[in-house]
Structure 1
Amino acid sequence: MSPNEMMLEKSETLTSEQIVELTRKHNYGTWRFQKGWNPMHIVDAEGCYIVDGKGKRYLDFSAQLMCSNLGHKNQVVIDAIAKQAQQLSYAMPGYATEVRAELSKLLVEVLPAGLSKFFFTTSGTEANEAAFKIARMYTGKTKIIARYRSYHGSTTGSIAATGDPRRWAMEPGGKGPGVIFGPEVNCYKCPIRHTYPGCGIACADYLEHMIRNESDVAAVLIEPVVGTNGVLVPPDEYMPKLRKICDEYGVLLIADEVMSGWGRTGEWFAMNHWGVVPDILTTAKGITGAYVPLGLCATSGKIADFFEDHYFAHGHTYEAHPMTLAPAVAAIREMQRMDLVARAKGLEPYLRGKLEELKAKHPSVGDVRGKGLFWAVDLVKNRTTKEPFGTYSDKVAGRPLLVDQIAGKILADGVTIQAWVSHFIIAPPLIITKVQIDFGIDALDRHLSIADALVEGG
């Protein structure tokens, strides 16, 4: 019996229930109480579907964690991983490799023009850590202005720069030196109580006010389209205005495109919607279609030139790991071959129309918003006050959330969807069809009645 056959035989002795129990017993479930965690056993995935231990198939309506942009079991990417493992499975960062050069050349083609020097990581959070260090080394300043309702990762620096309440558990020590927060862009429920378009983009003006009244600001950090915190899309005037402000005060602009990149919004990167190039762009997730963990910190030429004569004080053992780079090359070429960026843009009106129909039908839907194949469905108790059905405080207190209840019903109907506090995120693989979109929307439609029954006056 071969080693592979022996391993298969061993794995087949575990039942699906045993696999779940061992996972619960010896692993941490993220962002949750451990009590009551009952993870679904997944055994297979292909195209837009995942399969559980009992053989039931589910439509992956959020690309798992908004990362499986290519869908599952893309053979070109799988073959690239296998080939790289046979050819060169590891090279330390100080070496040049063919796959490193090949990916670098491709990145220059697809990234916003001018971003031409790269540092590779194994996650989005590490990419952001690199961005913070580079910004501070380049400017000689320390402060990072981030925004509320943002998420930038879970390591010490990136959680310190995260505006949403996932930061709270690490405070005060986890807040980190030199991170301050300003208002997010949220035209549905403006945090500074302005109304677009009459506001004149007051949320950007507020960031300028912060820069003027803070010393030592190195960079402004944004998610161009906010991800987990509600797919918040800025008005068209916001990004050019912010770029102008940063240039005027000599502050770098960092765009966190970990979730919004790689065709998700109908452009290779969300910043392209506004023709604005950041000084630093970070990304991960869709860069490999999530087949292998890879993150990227891309910088402008002026930053690259600075480090010709200044010490670059950063590095990782697995930086530019060949096994992470090969699937990225394959994934980008597959995106080009299938024209998936244009596909996401082309499907936007269809998905938008379906979601607008949900909003018209269900009084619990306060707002739907998004770009490309990246959307949020916001649930509210009252459309006038826009009061949500749940808050993060409810989550950390262990109180049941309505969105989780509805997501459970949808799961039973064969659709997986990401629910976060008071909204759903719809971000399917970019290969999804209209028929599959209909199937996912129909499942959501069936169970929004649970929320409708709880609407004030409903």
Structure 2
Amino acid sequence: MTYTAAADQFIAGSTNAEVSEADRSRVFHSWSAQGALNPLPIAGGSGCMLWDFDGKQYLDFSSQLVNVTIGYQHPKVVAAIQRQADKLTTIAPAQANETRAHAAELITDLAPDGFNKVFFTNGGADAIENAIRMARLFTGRDKIISRYRSYHGNTGAAIVATGDWRRIPNEYARGHVHVFGPYLYRSEFWATSEQEECERALHHLERVIQAEGPESVAAILLETIPGTAGIMPPPPGYLSGARQIADRYGILLILDEVMAGFGRTGEWLALDAYDVRPDLITFAKGVNSGYVPLGGVIISDPIAHHFDERVFPGGLTYSGHPLATASAIATIEAMREEKIVENAAQIGAEVIGPRLQEIAAQREVVGEVRGKGVFWAIELVADRETKEPLGAPEMGKIKAGLLERGLLPFISDNRIHVVPPAIITADEANRGLDIIDETLAAYRP
């Protein structure tokens, strides 16, 4: 029996219970206590839909880890991977490869002027690692300033640059300092308006840099729009203000577009909506919807040329892997041809945003909704006056209600993140939002 035939036979005869048990007994899962796992078995997917081994269907409002921007099994991307596999499955990064070069060209074409080179990685975390390395080598400085409400990945420097609880048991990297960013709903600055929040957050950022010693700071690292931390679009002037502070002290600005980039916000890059030009841009996820692991750093010309005569001390066996870069080419081309970025913007402005505002007005458990494109968060609270976050047991009940009604959600802390694939139709978006509204209407504390 061939491998393919054996796999087909296993899948055809499997049930949810069998697959879940096989997974629990053999796979060590991330961010989890292993004994309490109950993973959802998924047998297949198409577009915005997934189904399990027992035949239950789910409308995906998670894009998995907010990466399946182009949807499941897009035929053009699948075909591109197949063609590349027939032609050349792998090649070392030291060799010249036309697929890798073409992908880099398409990616740099989407960046601001003055970005002409890409360092490819296997994903977002090692993109952050290498952006930090470049900043330190370019400036001769060590410290990296990032936000408490952030997530940058689970590798040495990336996890320490991260601000949430996952940093604390992993603090092995050096030279990381954190600040509070703008978040008016839960302001750390006693602000009452977006303008106040922006001004005070920028003042806080600059004072921390001054207190740390500007001559010791290599870079400010910011998610253009923080994702896992709560999908918090920055107030007008914050990113440009951070750029001005960086320039004042000879510090680089790194924008993390791993989650927000490549169509998620209704822009090719989230930074396109803001008056800001960074020095380094990290990406992953949406560049090829995670069909094959891929990430990278888009490098501004001065930093790229810094290494013309100096060795860059970094590399990865699979940097610019041809199967991955082939899938990126096909993804970018399909997104252009099918106007997927424009669809994300339209669905966000005409369907998701208005419907979430309606839900917020009707459901007391909703504290705030915020976002753009197909990148939104519903913040749930036990009390609107105190803004007390809804607790984990209650969030677990809401998640179970969403799954029972056929919606696969992205739950983070006290939030439902509304992050479907960017190909979602208005009918699908409304159906998913109906399920959210029904579930919140049925919620009882």
* 8 Å contact kept, 2:225–2:232: yes
Paired residues for 1:303-318 under 5 Å = 303-318=303-318
TM-score (norm 2): 0.96
- Residue 202, structure 1, aligned to residue 200, structure 2: yes
Q: In structure 2, which of residues 152, 173, 176 is the aligned counterpart of residue 176 of structure 1?
A: 173
- Residue 385, structure 1, aligned to residue 386, structure 2: yes
* 8 Å contact kept, 1:139–1:218: yes
Pairwise CA distance, 1:275: 2.9
- Residue 92, structure 1, aligned to residue 92, structure 2: yes
Q: In structure 2, which of residues 400, 407, 410 is the aligned counterpart of residue 408 of structure 1?
A: 400
Paired residues for 1:97-116 under 5 Å = 97-116=97-116
Q: Kindly provide the CA deviation profile for residues 360-384 of structure 1, in whole angstroms up to 9, marking residues without a partner as x.
A: 0001100000011100000011212
List gaps (5 residues or longer) in structure 1: 391-399
* 8 Å contact kept, 1:112–1:269: no
Pairwise CA distance, 1:408: 1.0
Q: Kindly provide the CA deviation profile for residues 19-55 of structure 1, in whole angstroms up to 9, marking residues without a partner as x.
A: 2101001112322222221111111100100010111
Paired residues for 1:43-54 under 5 Å = 43-54=43-54
Give the Cα separation in 1 of the matches to 2:438 and 2:280: 43
Paired residues for 1:281-292 under 5 Å = 281-292=281-292
Pairwise CA distance, 1:105: 1.4
- Residue 445, structure 1, aligned to residue 442, structure 2: no
**Aligned counterpart, 2:183:** 186
Letter of the 1:97 partner, please give it. N
Pairwise CA distance, 1:195: 2.5
Give the Cα separation in 1 of the matches to 2:307 and 2:63: 37
Give the Cα separation in 2 of the matches to 1:200 and 1:422: 24
RMSD across aligned positions (CA): 1.4
Give the Cα separation in 1 of the matches to 2:81 and 2:45: 17
Give the Cα separation in 2 of the matches to 1:249 and 1:82: 49
**Aligned counterpart, 2:370:** 369
- Residue 28, structure 1, aligned to residue 28, structure 2: yes
Q: Which moved more, 1:21-30 or 1:410-419?
A: 21-30
**Aligned counterpart, 1:129:** 129
> Is the partner of 2:220 in helix, strand or coil?
strand
Change (3 A) 1:341 1:14: closer
**Aligned counterpart, 1:61:** 61
Q: Which moved more, 1:401-410 or 1:81-90?
A: 401-410
List gaps (5 residues or longer) in structure 2: none
Pairwise CA distance, 1:4: 2.6
Paired residues for 1:130-279 under 5 Å = 130-170=130-170, 174-196=171-193, 197-199=195-197, 201-215=199-213, 216-279=216-279
**Aligned counterpart, 1:422:** 414
**Aligned counterpart, 1:324:** 324
Change (3 A) 1:200 1:327: closer
Q: Kindly provide the CA deviation profile for residues 230-279 of structure 1, in whole angstroms up to 9, marking residues without a partner as x.
A: 10111111111111111111101011111000111111111111131211
Q: Which moved more, 1:100-109 or 1:408-417?
A: 100-109
Q: Kindly provide the CA deviation profile for residues 127-160 of structure 1, in whole angstroms up to 9, marking residues without a partner as x.
A: 0011111111111100000101100001111111
Percent of residue pairs identical: 38
Pairwise CA distance, 1:417: 0.6
Q: Which moved more, 1:16-25 or 1:135-144?
A: 16-25
Give the Cα separation in 2 of the matches to 1:436 and 1:135: 43
Give the Cα separation in 2 of the matches to 1:404 and 1:364: 14
How many residue pairs align between the two structures? 441
TM-score (norm 1): 0.93
Q: Kindly provide the CA deviation profile for residues 176-229 of structure 1, in whole angstroms up to 9, marking residues without a partner as x.
A: 210000002201111232232234521112111111221310000111111011
Q: Kindly provide the CA deviation profile for residues 340-397 of structure 1, in whole angstroms up to 9, marking residues without a partner as x.
A: 111111122221100000000001100000011100000011212211013xxxxxxx
Pairwise CA distance, 1:401: 3.0
Q: Which moved more, 1:10-19 or 1:361-370?
A: 10-19
Give the Cα separation in 1 of the matches to 2:172 and 2:165: 11
Give the Cα separation in 2 of the matches to 1:144 and 1:449: 44
Letter of the 2:338 partner, please give it. M
* 8 Å contact kept, 1:115–1:299: yes
Give the Cα separation in 2 of the matches to 1:113 and 1:34: 47
> Is the partner of 1:118 in helix, strand or coil?
strand
Pairwise CA distance, 1:106: 0.7
Change (3 A) 1:202 1:56: same
Pairwise CA distance, 1:2: 4.4
> Is the partner of 1:405 in helix, strand or coil?
helix
Pairwise CA distance, 1:15: 4.0
Give the Cα separation in 1 of the matches to 2:221 and 2:139: 15
Change (3 A) 1:140 1:382: same
* 8 Å contact kept, 1:161–1:175: no
Pairwise CA distance, 1:421: 1.2
Letter of the 1:187 partner, please give it. L
> Is the partner of 2:36 in helix, strand or coil?
coil
> Is the partner of 1:448 in helix, strand or coil?
helix
Give the Cα separation in 2 of the matches to 1:11 and 1:414: 22
